[in-house]
């Protein structure tokens, strides 16, 4: 489960509007009825929060989300599948960066284009997804301590390695 998102919730509760906890048994039954196997960290996250709205434009869909507000994970996935999204994805987030989903075949978190559902990023955990996608976008704006600095960029490190290799 994403520890950082809960630290941020404590630091800035005004930015996080959770739907409320979801009963463990209900969540297990609901997932089984829909034939979804999700990563343990998303299960724990949904159990604790039920999804909700965060920052100003981000919605994390949940099993207890309000369908009238477009926050129900089941309804949003049915709608997206009707628009051509492959069933291998379970979308759990929509916001300024597009869609975020779990790739059900391997449990990886992915960013998807809203236009053609192509993948634009892959993350191994909910924590990594939150830190790299949402928190990285909003930390400065809301006075949260940054987790990453520009010199932590893997591409920069790779370019330095190439430059160093060329001098040998």
Pick from 75, 78, 49, 73: nearest CA to 62: 73
Domain around 38:
3-166
- Inter-residue contact 42 to 62 (CB < 8 Å): no
Residue 154 has pLDDT above 50, yes or no: no
| Beta strands at 16-18 and 52-54: parallel, antiparallel or unpaired | antiparallel
pLDDT per position as a tens digit, 69-82: 667 899 999 999 99
Cα–Cα distance measured from residue 87 to residue 68, given in angstroms and rounded to the nearest whole number = 23
First-last CA distance in the chain = 44
pLDDT per position as a tens digit, 101-153: 999 999 999 999 999 999 999 999 999 999 999 998 899 999 988 675 554 44
Question: Domain with 142 in it: what CATH number?
Answer: 3.40.1580.10
Q: Sort 56 into a burial class: Cβ within 10 Å, 0-12 / 13-18 / 19+.
A: exposed
Q: Would you list the DSSP string of 1-38?
A: --HHHHHHHHH-GGGEEE-----HHHHHHHHHHTT---
Cα–Cα distance measured from residue 152 to residue 154, given in angstroms and rounded to the nearest whole number = 6
pTM exceeding the 0.95 threshold for the entire prediction: no
Residue 55 has pLDDT above 80, yes or no: yes
User: What is the reported pLDDT for 72?
Assistant: 85
Q: In Å, how far from its chain's centre is CA 81? A: 18
Residue 161 has pLDDT above 60, yes or no: no
- Domains: count for the chain: 1
């Amino acid at each position: 489960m994403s520890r950082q998102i809960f630290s941020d919730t404590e630091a800035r509760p005004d930015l996080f509007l959770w739907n409320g906890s979801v009963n463990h048994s209900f969540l297990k039954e609901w997932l089984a009825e829909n034939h979804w196997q999700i990563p343990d960290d998303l299960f724990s996250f949904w159990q604790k929060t039920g999804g909700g709205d965060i920052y100003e434009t981000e919605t994390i869909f949940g099993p207890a989300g309000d369908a009238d507000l477009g926050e129900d994970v089941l309804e949003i996935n049915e709608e997206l599948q009707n628009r051509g999204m492959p069933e291998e994805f379970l979308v759990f987030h929509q916001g300024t960066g597009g869609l975020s989903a779990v790739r059900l075949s391997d449990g990886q978190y992915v960013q998807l284009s809203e236009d053609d559902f192509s993948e634009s990023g892959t993350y191994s955990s909910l924590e990594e997804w939150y830190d790299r996608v949402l928190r990285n976008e909003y930390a400065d704006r809301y006075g949260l301590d940054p987790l990453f600095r520009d010199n932590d960029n893997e591409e920069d490190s790779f370019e330095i390695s190439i430059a160093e290799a060329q001098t040998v």
